[in-house]
Amino acid sequence: MTTETQQFKILNRSRSSYNDIFVVERENLREMWFQGKGRFYLQTRIDLDRPVDLALIYTRLLLAPLMWNPNPSRILMIGLGGGVLPRFLSGVYPGIQIDVVEVDGRVTELARRYFGFKTGSGIRVFESDGRAFVKQSRQKYDLVLLDAFKGGSVPYHLKTLEFYREIAQSLTEEGILATNLYGKSNMLKPRDWKTLELVFQQVSFFEDPERVATVCVANLRDNGVALEVLRKYTSNLPKSVQRNLSWIENTDMIQNGSLVESSGSVFEDDFEASEFLKAVKRNNRNDPFFDHPYPIRNSS
């Protein structure tokens, strides 16, 4: 972003307890960026000519679990950004319940002001840390979409074995987790894989050909569904979902063992249970993974 500053019109800059946030516009694109330690990280993009569609590849890849469950009734999203994905899903599935957890109230305000995000019509927002919410919630979800992002990485307590076990407890019997693991700059995907496969029976990675984005879909049960069957399933998805990504292409982007080897150590909590709240506060304000950042890059 810094090399193209003259092309951007800054609509808003806000500093919260958690983020340094920019809302910018250039030509027909409006975007939300976070700044961390001198670097900029793209969070949200909308095309003002087509604001309902999903403009970033990672948001389109986060639709991948719909191939296994094309008719979810209740979704939990951890991380709001501009609110593009819950707004899209609410439009596709009238009557669906979407609970969004966003720790930074300023992000929620900017999503409403600049990106057309609204609560109601089945969408609720909880201003809380994602893990703290999962710990206290008794609700069961068909899908959990994990897209929490701080500076150049995911807060550490949202990537551990213990957290994934807590998510598993919040899912229905056929429940699915989809988590944004970013693209080729994420050098930690082998550890992500190894951690996830200790909790979930079926772990599938999706990555676009340019390797801008990587999304992992983790199923509680191993459905043993062949790619040919998944391609057939996608023909029954809502047309607005199919329009946002070629689902034949999407099934071809499934990587499984060809993407990474499940090597390296498992991500485990680095704090005692009694220190949970202190660790959450620390991780939400600092960037423990900055030496191995996961930047989200521009994509069309």
Query: How does pLDDT run across 285-300, given as a tens digit for each residue?
Result: 876 555 444 433 433 3
42-51, 53-62, 111-120, 204-213: the lowest-pLDDT one = 204-213
Task: Confirm whether 271 is domain-assigned.
Answer: no
Flag whether pLDDT at 199 surpasses 90.
yes
**What domain range includes position 34?**
10-47
The answer to whether residue 284 is domain-embedded is: no
- Residue where a domain terminates, one of 258, 278, 295: 258
My answer on whether 220 and 156 are in the same domain is yes
- Give yes or no for residue 116 having a pLDDT over 80: yes
Q: What per-residue confidence (pLDDT) applies to 47? A: 95
Residue-by-residue DSSP string for the chain: -GGGGGG-EEEEEEE-SS-EEEEEEETTEEEEEEEETTEEEEEEEEETTSTTS--SHHHHHTTGGGGT-SS-SEEEEE--TTSHHHHHHHHHSTT-EEEEE-S-HHHHHHHHHHS----BTTEEEE-S-HHHHHHH----EEEEEE---BTTB--GGGSSHHHHHHHHHHEEEEEEEEEE--STT-TTHHHHHHHHHTT-SEEEEEE-TT-S-EEEEEESS-----HHHHHHHHTTS-HHHHHTS-HHHHHHTB-GGGT----SPPP---S-GGGHHHHHHHHHHS-TTTTS--PPPP--
Q: Of 29, 4, 50, whose CA–CA distance to 244 is shortest? A: 50
How much is the average pLDDT of 210-222?
87
82 compared with 257, residue with greater pLDDT: 82
Tell which wins on pLDDT, 220 or 252. 220
Min mean pLDDT across 28-32, 182-186, 281-285 is at 182-186
Report the number of distinct structural domains present in the chain.
Answer: 2
Is the pLDDT reported for residue 1 higher than 90?
A: no
pTM score = 0.87
72 compared with 233, residue with greater pLDDT: 72
| High-pLDDT (> 70) share of the chain, % | 79
Q: Kindly state whether residues 151 and 69 are assigned to the same domain.
A: yes
Diameter of the chain by CA atoms? 51
